[in-house]
Amino acid sequence: MIRAKTSAMFAAASLLGLTACTTGPLMDPNDPNRQAKQGALIGAGVGAVAGALAGNDPEERRANALGGAIVGAGAGALIGNRLDRQEADLRAQLGNDNVTIQNTGDRLIVTLPQDILFATDSATVRPDLQRDLRTVAQNLNAYPNTSVQVIGHTDNTGDAGYNQALSQRRAQSVSGILISEGVSSSRIQSIGRGEDAPIASNLTPEGRQQNRRVEIVILPNA
């Protein structure tokens, strides 16, 4: 029992070390394949931990840890590579500097400021901004092995219940455009977060502007 715990602790420590390597100076932030490499490292660590917890003796656990690391590295690299390619395609297709794309290694987060999508208190997407959403839809159709969360956010101005309902309607409005462009409704989840998840201070106009946003979160399927 003690040896099993020791193997698991060693594997967990290895995972932490691998994760640190992916964010340290050795990982080039301009490397177009950085997420594939990061996915391989993290996948290997997770696989090693899982393998170390299986088996009846130290030799079997070591073998399982090695096998888990190999399988995890392959799966992690595959997901990371797919995200790298999808991110590159989406950046090339979108021509709006107000739209940001963040690749976290396990998902893409496309952020659209609500101020450029909607008029005040409206949940109808401005016609001139629907082009960007159609571009996102085309990208999603090109990478069908993903699921999508459309999340609406507001600042804290006004009634919290009203903000919650407005953020939900706006998320559904964006989802509706993606669906109308051919993205399967079974892939999309519309979520209203209201004022619950700010990314900046609500004490300044600039902060409140950042908090008013819609995020399209693209999650690779296993």
Q: Residue 48, exposed/middle/buried by CB under 10 A (0-12, 13-18, 19+)?
A: buried
Least confident of 73-82, 113-122, 163-172: 73-82
What angle do helix axes 34-52 and 58-93 make, rounded to 10 degrees?
Answer: 160
51: pLDDT confidence band, cut at 50, 70 and 90? very low
User: Sheet harboring 100-103: ordered strands across?
Assistant: 100-103, 108-113, 213-220, 146-153, 188-194
pTM reported for the whole predicted model: 0.69
SS3 67: helix
- Measure CA 222 to chain center: 14
Q: What pLDDT is attached to residue 95? A: 77
Q: What pLDDT is attached to residue 183? A: 98
Bridge partners, residue 217, by sequence: 109, 149
131: pLDDT strictly greater than 80: yes
